[in-house]
Amino acid sequence: MENAILKKIGYDAGNIASDGNRFLCANGYMGMRGIPEEDGSGQYAAVTLAGVYDRYRDRWREPVNAPHGLSVRLSFDGASMTPASAETVRHETALDYRYGLLSRDTDYGPLSLHSERFLSMADCHLMADCLRIRIRRDGMLEIRAGIPDDIWDINGPHLFDKQYQAGRILCCEAVTGEKRITVATAQHAVPAFAVEETYETGKGGVFRVWRKQVRSGEELALSVFAGVYTSLDRGDCKAAAEETCLNAGKKGFDACLREHMQAWDAIRDRSEMVLEGDGAAALALRASQYHLNCIAPRHAGSMSIPARGLSGQTYKGAVFWDAEIFYFPMFVHTQPEIARSLLAYRIETLPGALKKAAEYGFRGAFYAWESQEGGEEGCTNFNVVDVFTHRPVRTYFRDKQIHISADIVYALRSYYEITGDRSLLENGGAEVILECARFYLNRSNAHLDRDDVDYDDVIGPDEYHERVSNNAFTNRMIRHCLESALRLEEIFTDRRGWFEALLKKLAYEADWERLGTLIQRIRGPVIRGGVIEQFDGYFGLEDCSLETVRARLCHPKEYWGGDHGVAGTTQIIKQADVIAMIALFPGDFTDEEADANWAYYEPRTEHGSSLSSCMYALTACRTGRLDEAWDLFLRTASIDVTGGGKQWAGEIYIGGTHPAANGGAWMIAALGFAGLRVVRGEAELHPRLPRQITRLSFPFTAKGKQLQAEITHHHAVIRPR
């Protein structure tokens, strides 16, 4: 299959962090950064666990990185053979997007090394590696396979009381500092050569060591299996990890790989979009689908996806609005069970949202901006460090980005309308919608001398402008939330008694009567020449070019937003805001209105977030700006191929993969280029195919039906699968 493999020649020490993201292997339970087996914390080696968090002292809480179970290090005649330290003749890395199979070929001169590794999609606790060593010169070879005590943490350490076990199965068992969660990594190495092995255990970890006098032309092979469990999975997680890698060793690498590939085949059969006509674009789209599919929580019935996926600890491993607005569309259209898991996570974390609202003096559900386990708010009041004073800067993401609750409601309603499955609403979803609506009832600002209602002191998607009033996106999302609450009565017409009991349980009778009134009173935006004002007073800000604002920077890592940022007093915005509203509510606006706003806001947008380009691309598709849509699509889809995106916010490292852009690429192709719509349960295509694409084909579901879309410049059809 063409356009399925990402390759890089050379070991690039200056871009090792970016390469670790680009060549990520993951299976939803854990993610392993794509670096050579020999590398350690200095090269940002990490096995990041989904849903396991820890806080060290007063630092930020973040995901826990497990001990690295696929570490293998070589030396020849006493010289260490690592790409980071040795003089390599040649080094090549390749990631097969079809199967999440990472391979590398390194020629050290005296020997060459080829390896293939994967994190199993058939068993989410298993990772496996197969190494083949070819000897080019007589000498003494040493192989050290083990579990090093060399864990990269941004705000750690997080694992304590480490206990190591040597023997047939190596093991490292430790506990987290905050909640005393046990984490166990076991390793089973199976050599295809006969030589006595020894063991080393100490502060550096636990290792199995082989020393062999080798001759030129000799070839050696080694299979390494690792199992990872935590006490959140099973009580005796050490025994479970040992059993996993021991069973894998009995099967052998090839058998485990076949099972893994079969699991990936099933995933791609349900979700893979094929683009023909442009090879680079096809590779980028395949990369986007891989990076989103490989971090989907298939092992859990109620788990979401962090903003940087499983590529590391940045953004505190927290779940943002990205999950509902950017990841959700691909999953709800292709793998509804994963979309359900994302929303089940929000239903389970409703108590945390109720608690957060109460902390700010409001009723209802105010969801965490950066949600960790249990809905705990990971966002602090100081999220940026000033590059000049090196002091933390007060930001208002935690308390003013109130659109988060409405974003969740938007996805809940979309899930019901696209799948026809009401059970999620019956099992907590309706309560989430009602409590979010209650929050907006309580958060509104009424006036004694006029009838309209404001939402003051908020932040919309554009985070460069803080504490604004009547952000158009936020107000429209709130209106949709209130409308969704009222629509529950229609959805549950046949269960009226159940619904009335729910309202009674929530003491909702008085609030129910207020919903319709509030919808009518929410203040609409100012419109000038067809352009919607992003928030009150936006048109009065300095209207200058993006280049002018960029020229005012005194430091390349300087934060643009807030009270002192270079963009805060101008009309330059971080990302799609009004355009995001138009993309999410296309029926509210004519094509002419959409185009007028696109033409106004796009030149004023820095696209400082990976969430931005896809919203502009969706709107460009509907207004016939197909060349612009294509450029934005390439920018979105290729971000984890090129290693692009912002790496810093002030002095805070924010690098990693970009699941929101990955989902955005699917949205542009399916909802923009193909024009997929599900209207009253029926799928429709309204294609706007750019000239660069000759064919677009993808599977999807609607109301439980398995369908296939086929689009060319001559026809667009939907057929059963």
Residue from 37, 62, 463, 602 carrying the catalytic annotation: 463
H or E element, residue 114 = strand 111-119
Cα–Cα dist 392/386, whole Å: 6
Query: For 443-454, what is the HEC assignment?
Result: HCECCCCCCCEE
Strand segments (E) across 279-433:
382-385, 392-394
Name the CA dihedral angle for 317, 399, 576, 410, rounded to a multiple of 10 degrees.
80
- Quick check: is 463 catalytic? yes
Instruction: Provide φ and ψ at 133, rounded to 5°.
Output: -115, 130
Q: Which long-range contacts (CB under 8 A, 24 or more apart) does 497-503 make?
A: 498/426, 499/430, 502/430, 502/431, 502/434, 503/434
Question: Going by C-beta distance under 8 Å and a sequence separation of 6 or more, which residues neighbour residue 360?
Answer: 366, 399
Pair of tokens at residue 239: 């025994």
Find, among 591, 595, 552, the residue nearest to 570 by Cα.
552
Find, among 373, 371, 484, the residue nearest to 430 by Cα.
484
**DSSP secondary structure code for residue 522 in this structure:** B
Pair of tokens at residue 426: 């019956």
CA terminus-to-terminus distance, the chain: 21
Question: Going by C-beta distance under 8 Å and a sequence separation of 6 or more, which residues neighbour residue 11?
Answer: 36, 83, 84, 88, 91, 106
Note whether 241 and 186 are within 8 A (CB): yes
Find, among 234, 216, 6, 35, the residue nearest to 129 by Cα.
35
Cα–Cα dist 630/158, whole Å: 44
Cα–Cα dist 312/44, whole Å: 9
Question: Going by C-beta distance under 8 Å and a sequence separation of 6 or more, which residues neighbour residue 264?
Answer: 98, 99, 100, 121
Pair of tokens at residue 218: 């000799």
Cα–Cα dist 569/197, whole Å: 67
Note whether 605 and 570 are within 8 A (CB): no
Note whether 226 and 127 are within 8 A (CB): yes
Note whether 134 and 219 are within 8 A (CB): yes
Pair of tokens at residue 429: 């979803």
Catalytic site positions: 463
